[in-house]
Amino acid sequence: MKDRRILVTGGAGFIGSNFVHTILESTENVSIIVVDKLTYAGNLKNLDKWKNDSRLQFIKLDITDKTEVFSKLENIPVTEIAHFAAESHVDRSILGPEEFVKTNLMGSFYMLEFARMLHAQNKLRLFLHVSTDEVFGSLSAEGAFTETTPYAPNSPYSASKAGSDHLVRAYFHTYGLPVITTNCSNNYGPFHFPEKLIPLMILNCLQGKSLPVYGTGENVRDWLYVKDHCLAIDLVMRTGKFGETYNIGTRNEKNNLEIVYKICELMDERNPKGAPHKKLIQFVKDRPGHDFRYAIDPAKIENELGWKPKYKFEEAIEQTVDWFLANRSWWEEILSGEYNKYYDSQYKELKDK
Ligand code: NAD
Ligand code: TDX
C-alpha cells in the first residue's frame, strides 16, 4: 500500500497510542494524524517517543463538535480513518452516561459523516471502527462470542458502543462507505489508564492501598495484550473485507481473582517489602449490572486473515507490571491530577461496601 495517511481518533489514549507505536515502528512510508480531545484519559506523553518524527501530526479536536471536525480536518489529506476515540470506562458510564452517548454515538456519527464526505471525493480507502465484545452482552459459563452473536449490551457504555457499531454498518449498506468493525476483548499493557482493573491493582500494590474486587471476583474477562490487538488491527486494515466485522481475542479467559492473585505474586517478587500483597485484597460492593463473563471466538480472523497472537499471557503480564515499575513518572502525574479528585469523590462510592 502506497502513501498511507491514517487519521487516528483517540490516538493519545491507551489503545490508540499503542496503535500509533505499532504502525510507526513497522511502517516507513506512512503518515499518522492523531486527533484527540485530550480528556482525562488522553495523554500526549503516550506519544512522546515520536514527538520529533515528521510522520506524526497531532490535532486537538473534539469529535462531538461537528463544526470543529469539518473545519480542522478539511485540508488534511487522509486515506484511512482508524476510529478509537471513545469514553471507555464502564464504571464512569454508570455514574454519568451522558458523555458516553455524546462521544461514542454522536462523535462516531460525525466521524462517519466526515468519512462519507471524503469517500464522495474518492479520497478515503477505509473507515476502521474499533469496538468491544461488551456489545454482545454477558455469557454464562459456556460458549464464546462470534461475529454473528446477537447484540445485547447491558451498560450505558456498551449500549453506546453498540449504537455506533450499528451506525457504521448502516453507512456501509446505505452509502457504500468502506468500513470494517473490530470487536475485541479486554486489553492490558503499557499506557493503560490507572482506573482499569490491571493497572489499578499494580499501582495500589505499589502504594500499599487496598485492592477492591467487585462482588465475589468470579467474573470472567478474556485478556488481550494491547500489542497483539494493535497488530491485529493493522492486519485487518490491510487485508480485511469491507462491510465485515472481526472479533479479536486470544482465548485467554481469567476470572478477576486469578488476575489479582497473579499481580500480587509478581509484585511479591518485585516489591518484597509489601509482600504478601494478597493481604490488600478487599471484596467490595458489586458493579451494578456487572456482566458475568466475556469470551471471544477469534476463528474468523485466524482462518480468513491468518492472524496469530505474538505474545503469551505469562510474559505479557510480567512486561506490563515491569512497564509500570519503569514508568513511575507517567502514572504519578496522572494520580496527582484530575483523575485523583474524581476517584476520591464519586467513584469511591462504587467501591465502598
Ligand atoms: P481510553 O479511554 O484510554 O482512550 C480514549 C481516547 O479518546 C482518549 O485519548 C481521549 O482523550 C479520546 N477522546 C475521548 N473523547 C473524545 C472526543 N470527544 N473527541 C476526541 N477524542 C476523544 O480508551 P481505550 O481503552 O484506549 O479504548 C480505545 C477504543 O477501544 C474505544 O473505542 C474502546 O471502546 C475500545 N475498546 C477498549 C477496550 C479496552 O480493554 N480498553 C476493549 C475493547 C474495546
Ligand atoms: O476496581 C475494580 N475492581 C474490579 O473487580 C475494577 C476497576 C474492575 N473490577 C472488575 C470489573 C470487571 O469484571 O474487573 C473486571 C475488569 O474491569 P475493567 O477494567 O473496568 O474493564 P471492563 O469493565 O471489563 O471493560 C474493559 O473491557 C472492555 C474496558 O474498560 C472497555 O472499554 C472495553 O470495551
Ligand 2 — pocket residues by CB below 6 A?
88-90, 132, 134, 186, 196-197, 200, 212-214, 219, 221, 256, 287
Report the pLDDT averaged over residues 236-265: 98
Specify the number of domains making up the chain.
1
Assign 127 a pLDDT band (cuts: 50, 70, 90).
very high
- Residue 264 falls inside a structural domain: no
**Is 138 inside a domain boundary?**
yes
| Interval between CA 52 and ligand 2 midpoint (Å) | 35
Assess if residue 266 is contained within a domain: no
Tell the residue nearest (CA) to atom 27 of ligand 2: 186
User: Tens of pLDDT along 74-121?
Assistant: 999 999 999 999 999 999 999 999 999 999 999 999 999 999 999 999
**Tell me, what CATH number does 57's domain have?**
3.40.50.720
162-194 residues labelled b (16+ CB within 10 A) or e (exposed): bbbbebbeebbeeeebbbbbbbbbbbbbbbbbb
> What is d(CA 150, CA 37) in angstroms, rounded to the nearest whole number?
32
Enclosing domain of residue 231: 4-192+223-253+292-315
In a domain, 58, yes or no: yes
The Cα–Cα gap between 277 and 48 comes to 32
Report the relative pairing of strands 179-184 and 126-132 from DSSP bridges.
Answer: parallel
- Any domain includes 178: yes
* Residue 213 located in a structural domain: no
Has residue 271 been placed in a domain?
A: no
328 found inside a domain: no
Instruction: Say if CB 34 and CB 271 are below 8 A apart.
Output: no
User: For residue range 203-239, what is the model confidence (pLDDT) as tens digits?
Assistant: 999 999 999 999 999 999 999 999 999 999 999 999 9
The per-residue pLDDT for 86 is 99
Which has the closest alpha carbon to 193: 293, 302, 342? 342
Please confirm, yes or no, whether 133 is among the known catalytic residues: yes
Q: How far is the CA of 277 from the centre of ligand 1 (A)?
A: 30
